[in-house]
Amino acid sequence: MTPRFSEPLFVISVAARLVEMHPQTLRKYEREGLIAPSRTSGNLRLYSDSDIERLRQVKYLVEQRGLNLAGVQLALELTHQVQELKGRIESATEGRKPSPVVGELDKLLESLGFVDEHRLRDQQRRDHDHS
């Protein structure tokens, strides 16, 4: 993940607009420990692209899957564990034929509402550069 993807850029009003949520909902999710935006020296919340990605997953899990916040927390923890496992498999098979397990892990991540926006943007840039 590039440093730019983790750089805190968006104030709460912009982040709320990006994920189509009320700013108060973002504050609630922070209180519940689902998101941890950076803070400026003036205590202003700043959200990174990575935070936006996580908020979109939370929104999907609540609105589309009907999970309560405890279920969302569990799904987020599972997402992290699956991502870690996928990364270890990709590192172990680097330079070789991709493992079919990686595809299965991608399907699992998708069912958890995770969309790797960093990779999606990279792919969109590559597609744009080739057109």
State if pTM tops 0.85.
no
Q: Is the pLDDT of residue 81 over 90?
A: yes
pLDDT given for residue 115 in this prediction: 82
Q: What is the fold of 3-130?
A: Multidrug-efflux Transporter Regulator; Chain: A; Domain 2 (1.10.1660)
Alpha-carbon span 21 to 97, nearest angstrom: 41
In the chain, the amino acid numbered 70 is A
In sequence order, what E strands does 48-123 have? none
Quickly state the pLDDT bin for 14 (edges 50, 70, 90): very high
Per residue in 22-62, pLDDT tens?
999 999 999 999 999 999 999 999 999 999 999 999 999 99
Return the domain boundaries, the chain.
3-130
